[in-house]
Amino acid sequence: MTFFQSKGLQAPDGFDWASEGRGTALVASIESLLSDLTDRQQDALKAELDHLASLANSNGLLSAEQICAGQSIDLEGLEGVEDVLLLLAIQYPHLLDRVSAQASLMQRTGGKQWSAFQFEDDGKPWAISSTAAREGFLNEAIAILELPTHRKREADWFKVIRLHPITGEEIEILQATIYVEERAESELAFGPSDTLERQIVPKVLEVGLACNAQDRVIEICAKGGKEVRDQYAKAFAKHFAPESETPVETPRRDVLLDKLRSAPKFDIEPADGIERIEVSALDFFATGGGFSRFERRGDGETLYQFLERRFGTASPLKASGWQIVSATIRIVIAARDSKRRKTLTVTLRTPNTTTLPNKTETDRQFVFDLLERWQLIAPPPKDEFVLEDV
With helix as H, strand as E and coil as C, how does the chain read? CHHHHHCCCCCCCCCCCCCCCCCCHHHHHHHHHHCCCCHHHHHHHHHHHHHHHHCCCHHHHHHHHHHHHHCCCCCCCCCHHHHHHHHHHHHCHHHHHHHHHHHHHHHHCCCCCEEEEECCCCCCCCCCCCHHHHHHHHHHHHHHHCCCCCCCEEEEEEEEEEECCCCCCEEEEEEEEEEEEEEEEEEEEECCCCCEEEEEEEEEEEEEEEEECCCCEEEEECCCCHHHHHHHHHHHHHHHCCCCCCCEECCCCCECHHHHCCCCCCCCCHHHCEEEEEEEEEEEEECCCCEEEEECCECCECHHHHHHHHHHHHCCCCCCCEEEEEEEEEEEECCECCECCEEEEEEEECCCEEECCCCCHHHHHHHHHHHHHCCCECCCCCHHHCCCCC
> How much is the pLDDT for 384?
39
**CA–CA separation, 32 and 321 (whole Å):** 57
> How much is the pLDDT for 112?
78
- Nearest-Å Rg of the Cα atoms of the chain is 26
Q: Which residues of the chain have pLDDT under 50?
A: 22-23, 383-390
Residue pair 244/121 in contact (Cβ under 8 Å)? The answer is no
**CA–CA separation, 235 and 36 (whole Å):** 52
Instruction: Output the CA torsion 80→84→87→89 (10° steps).
Output: -120
Residue pair 329/357 in contact (Cβ under 8 Å)? The answer is no
- Of the chain, the end-to-end C-alpha distance in Å amounts to 46
Residue pair 332/341 in contact (Cβ under 8 Å)? The answer is yes
The residues with which 220 forms a beta bridge, in sequence order, are: 115, 209
Residue pair 11/24 in contact (Cβ under 8 Å)? The answer is no
In sequence order, what are the residues at sequence separation of 6 or more whose Cβ sits closer than 8 angstroms to the Cβ of residue 302?
A: 263, 278, 279, 296
Tens digit of pLDDT for each residue in 189-234?
887 777 888 887 777 888 899 999 988 999 999 988 889 999 999 9
Q: What is the pTM of this model?
A: 0.76
> How much is the pLDDT for 153?
86
Q: Which residues of 263-282 are buried (b: 16+ CB within 10 A; e: fewer)?
A: ebebebeeebbbeebbbbbb
Q: How far is CA 52 from the centre of its chain?
A: 22
Closest CA to 177 of 225, 214, 221, 213: 221
> How much is the pLDDT for 300?
82
Residue pair 101/206 in contact (Cβ under 8 Å)? The answer is yes
**CA–CA separation, 362 and 265 (whole Å):** 24
> How much is the pLDDT for 310?
92
